[in-house]
Amino acid sequence: MEIRDLLTEVGRLKGEIDALRPIDPAQERRVMQRFRLDWTYHSNAIEGNTLTYGETKAFLLHGVTAQGKPFRDYLEVKGHHEAINYLLDFVRQQQLLTEAAVRELHKMILVEPYKVDAVTGDGRPTKRRVIPGQYKTAPNHVLTSTGEMHYYATPEETPAKMGNLIAWYRRETDKAELHPLILAATFHYQFVAIHPFDDGNGRMARLLMNLIFLQYGYPPVIIPTDKKGEYLLALETADAENNLDPFVIHICESLLHSLDLFLRGARGERIDELDDLDKKLAILQKKLEVNDKARPEKTAQSLLEFNDKFLEPFLSQLFSQLAKFDQFFARTFFRVTLYKENIPKNTYYHHSPVIYGIANSIREGEKPKQIEIICEWSDFMADELFHLLFTLDIYLQRYSHKIIGFAHNYQNEYSKVAYYNEDNDGELNQNLASLQAGKGKTLLKGRYDAFYSKDEIDGLILKITNELYKRLEQKTDE
């Protein structure tokens, strides 16, 4: 489709939105929340941020963080979110863009100084310190997809070129002759061509482009991660052919999508995409495929190695520590169950001998999917109605293991979980499941080839025994 036809469609949708103004504030807040979330997630993800869409949403809306994700990734998400707020205030106050505002925006998205990988003029790898809000102090040229070097403005040229770009933007704003789409897309392209900062130029280009759209009453344009290749190719094509049309068309198509989304939201219609779930599942599948290729599958060999390197030393020490609680109770019940496929194999041991039972089971060719450990202490010496329970479930999944622990204490004339139910597995498991529901804590999860140091094993056991001791101490102090 020609740019002229695309602009006609942009005008039609913009007219429909304007006809609905004033838009219900609740509806506008709802659709803008979607835009802010999409904008922050996709713009950061394009640059390598590892947070998923769900993790970005949980962090921005509820302050929830995921384990194992770099702290820097959360700083970037938080900074980008604050930068959007800054732009919205900028638009409400009807301010015009200045170099000072550009540098302030850069400070927001990068938050604090850090180092990035770089290459010296003679091709040697090095590190470069990035200072938020400061123009680059060294060349930041890059290799294109064709393997050729693309040259940006030099550090010496950057201040003058940025001054010229801002002056051009203000002149064109005063003249009001360029369509906002052309103005915004051209500004984005020229900003990237200068590449004024040591890092964060892509996010800055998209922020400043969207500032122009917002100033003219348009919704922000989102470049989704699955369109990253097309987006970068359009920029490279504009460089190679000295023709901005492909890039303008790419931005225009994204603007049409945003206008359609905003229009649906303004009407109070559904604003989630019909194919959102398909996209998310496709991304999830790709991540799983990548992860699956990189980690060992559960086999007899990987289970034996996992048993020798972690399970045996962990359980040996754990059972030794759990046995120390026996002295405070009249009776102790201990059971280990190995589950393989759909057939439970119940094996009763007491403390350390269970280790050899698990290892032998694996050596006999079995691949257990779960190891369930139950330890219950009944008739506390200070109160015979007090009972203490601990369960540990070790799930041996296809590509990883997970350990969930559960501790519970209760007052009862009879032990309602284990001791008096030794001969009735159905009742035992049903009662135990009702107690455990939603209360177990994930203590450890990882790959079968993960290495756990003695300190890590000690720390895990300390976490378990401290929880049991705390419950015992509380009862003693009553």
Read off the pLDDT of residues 115-152 as tens digits, 9 standing for 90 and up: 887 766 566 777 888 999 999 988 888 766 566 777 89
* pLDDT of 414: 46
Measure the CA–CA gap between 157 and 135, rounded to whole angstroms: 11
Q: How many alpha carbons lie under 13 Å from residue 152 in its C-beta half-sphere?
A: 26
Please tell me the least confidently modeled range out of 32-41, 78-87, 220-229, 453-462: 453-462
Exactly one of 195, 250, 351, 387 is catalytic; name it.
195
* pLDDT of 264: 92
Nearest to 356 by CA among 303, 301, 401, 312: 312
**pLDDT greater at residue 85 or residue 125:** 85
Please tell me the least confidently modeled range out of 4-18, 130-144, 335-349: 335-349
User: How does the average pLDDT of the chain come out, rounded?
Assistant: 84
Catalytic, 141? Answer no
Percent of the chain with pLDDT over 90: 45
**pLDDT greater at residue 84 or residue 360:** 84
Please tell me the least confidently modeled range out of 12-16, 277-281, 289-293, 303-307: 289-293
Query: Of the segments 11-20, 143-152, 279-288, 413-422, which one has the largest average pLDDT value?
Result: 11-20
Please tell me the least confidently modeled range out of 5-19, 181-195, 330-344: 330-344
Q: Topology of 3-292 in CATH?
A: Fic-like fold (1.10.3290)
pTM of the model: 0.60
Amino acid identity of residue 145, one-letter, is S
Q: What is the pLDDT of residues 49-74, one digit of tens each?
A: 999 888 899 899 888 887 788 899 99
pLDDT at 334 over 60: yes
Measure the CA–CA gap between 243 and 426, rounded to whole angstroms: 74
Cβ(272)–Cβ(280) below 8 Å: no
* pLDDT of 422: 43
Measure the CA–CA gap between 16 and 14, rounded to whole angstroms: 5
Mean pLDDT on 443-467 = 86
Question: Which phi and psi angles does 367 have, rounded to 5°?
Answer: -125, 80
pLDDT at 172 over 70: yes
- pLDDT grade for 277, boundaries at 50, 70 and 90: low
- pLDDT grade for 111, boundaries at 50, 70 and 90: very high
* pLDDT of 424: 45
pLDDT at 301 over 50: yes
Q: What is the pLDDT of residues 382-429, one digit of tens each?
A: 888 888 989 999 998 888 889 999 888 877 654 444 433 444 444 445
**End-to-end CA distance of the chain, in Å?**
79
Task: Cite the residue boundaries of each domain of the chain with CATH code 1.10.3290.10.
Answer: 3-292
Strand partners, 378: 331
- pLDDT grade for 5, boundaries at 50, 70 and 90: very high
**pLDDT greater at residue 431 or residue 300:** 300
Measure the CA–CA gap between 266 and 27, rounded to whole angstroms: 6
Mean pLDDT on 284-290 = 55
